[in-house]
């Protein structure tokens, strides 16, 4: 790795109140504590990434924000509204969209039908327009429009999962490990698409990743999670340069 890394500059809206705010969240699976008091902020227009090793609690935090499981203590606020105890589908209706871990596309439904499901909230009002946008963003999906979700390759499924989430016209897009199991070229395509969406449309993105190098390069800010606690935070640039982060997550060649 070289010292010259092209990272993101801070977006304009950073100074205002956060869009998503996680405060002192503790989450349990039965009696086992998974999150031990986590604070995370996402400001409008930002790409924020959460990196960490396997089992650190990254996905749990994402699921907790989405209300399944719910936080036992602490609060999750979205746009000034307390969503800690809301059921998942109502949280989604506030226009927080999610591409969950393992993609979870609908395998027997066609690509187009998957996109249709993503547009459920608006009852397909902007459907045609949004489908065109998704096909411009991911041209591969256009070729596969009539194909079943289950027959797509891993990368195409990931694109579909993101596109499906975007169909809801979200104010916050949450992505759980979009690079998992994908070839580097595809990862680059997907991350480029996220960057474009953020730059051109001001989309706010919360990205959970194990692929720390790419994630920190893409993100304006990042959090590092270890054993259910956020141990470090800073701009993408700072974290990339941080020797501890480098030792734990970057050395060993992701790039």
Partner 1 sequence: MSAEMERPVAGPNYAAAARDAVLAGVIALGVFGPLIGFKTEQNMNNQLVVENRWGIVIVIVAIVVIGRFLLKAFVFPALVTRKANAGPASTDESFFKRNFKTIGLAFLLLYPVIIVSMLGYQQSIKWVDNFGIQILIYVMLGWGLNIVVGLAGLLDLGYVAFYAVGAYSYALLSSHFGFSFWLLLPLSGILAAMWGVILGFPVLRLRGDYLAIVTLAFGEIIRLVLINWREVTNGSAGISSIPKVDIFGWITFNVADPTYIGKILDLPPSSAYYKIFLYYLILALALFTAFVTLRLRRLPIGRAWEALREDEVACRSLGINTTNTKLTAFALGAMFGGFAGSFFAARQGFVSPESFVFLESAVIVAIVVLGGMGSMVGVAIAAAAMIGGTEILRELSFLKAVFGPEFNPDQFRMLIFGLAMVTIMVWKPRGFVGNREPTAFLHEKKSVSGSLVQEGHG
CA distance 215 to 232: 15
Verify binding: residue 104, partner 1, rule CB under 8 A.
Answer: yes
CA distance 184 to 255: 9
First vs last C-alpha separation in the chain: 8
Which one among 98, 157, 179, 211 touches partner 1, defined by CB under 8 A?
A: 98
**Cβ closest to partner 1, residue 97 vs residue 215:** 97
Runs of H (alpha helix) within 169-222: 184-201, 212-218
Shortest separation between residue 87's beta carbon and partner 1, angstroms: 8
The site that binds partner 1 (CB under 8 A) totals a number of residues, namely 35
**Cβ closest to partner 1, residue 16 vs residue 107:** 107
Give the strand pairing for 81-82 and 229-235: unpaired
Give the strand pairing for 73-78 and 96-99: unpaired
**Cβ closest to partner 1, residue 86 vs residue 239:** 86
Verify binding: residue 86, partner 1, rule CB under 8 A.
Answer: no
CA distance 156 to 147: 11
Verify binding: residue 106, partner 1, rule CB under 8 A.
Answer: yes
Three-class secondary structure of residue 176 per DSSP = strand
Shortest separation between residue 8's beta carbon and partner 1, angstroms: 26
49: β partners: 207, 222
Which one among 14, 89, 188, 199 touches partner 1, defined by CB under 8 A?
A: 89
**Cβ closest to partner 1, residue 22 vs residue 115:** 115
Which one among 148, 169, 246, 254 touches partner 1, defined by CB under 8 A?
A: 148
Shortest separation between residue 163's beta carbon and partner 1, angstroms: 12
Verify binding: residue 113, partner 1, rule CB under 8 A.
Answer: yes
CA distance 185 to 170: 26
CA distance 248 to 33: 23
158: β partners: none
Shortest separation between residue 150's beta carbon and partner 1, angstroms: 4
| Contact set with partner 1 (CB under 8 A) | 66, 68, 87-90, 92-93, 97-98, 100, 104-110, 112-113, 115-118, 120-121, 123, 145-148, 150-151, 164, 168
């Amino acid at each position: 790795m070289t010292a010259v890394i092209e990272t993101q500059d801070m977006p304009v809206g950073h100074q205002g109140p956060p869009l998503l705010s996680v405060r002192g969240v503790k989450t349990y699976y039965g009696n086992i504590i998974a999150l031990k008091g986590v604070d995370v902020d996402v400001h409008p227009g930002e790409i924020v990434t959460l990196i960490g090793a396997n089992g650190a609690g990254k996905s749990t935090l994402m699921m907790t924000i989405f209300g399944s499981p719910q936080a036992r203590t602490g609060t999750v606020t979205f746009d000034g509204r307390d969503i800690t105890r809301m059921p998942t589908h109502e949280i989604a209706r506030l226009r927080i969209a999610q591409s969950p871990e393992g993609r979870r596309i609908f395998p027997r439904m066609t690509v187009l039908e998957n996109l249709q499901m993503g547009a459920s909230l608006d009852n397909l009002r902007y459907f045609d327009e949004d489908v065109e946008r998704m096909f411009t963003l991911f041209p591969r999906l256009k070729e596969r429009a009539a194909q079943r979700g289950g027959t797509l390759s891993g990368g195409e499924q990931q694109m579909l999962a993101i596109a499906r989430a975007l169909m809801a016209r979200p104010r916050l897009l949450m992505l759980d490990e979009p690079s998992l199991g994908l070839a580097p070229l595809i990862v680059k395509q997907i991350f480029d698409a996220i960057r474009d969406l953020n730059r051109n449309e001001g989309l706010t993105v919360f990205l959970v990743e194990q692929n720390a190098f790419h994630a920190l390069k893409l993100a304006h800010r990042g959090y590092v999670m270890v054993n259910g606690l956020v141990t470090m935070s800073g701009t993408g640039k700072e974290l990339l340069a941080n020797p501890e982060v480098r030792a734990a997550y970057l050395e060993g060649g992701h790039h």
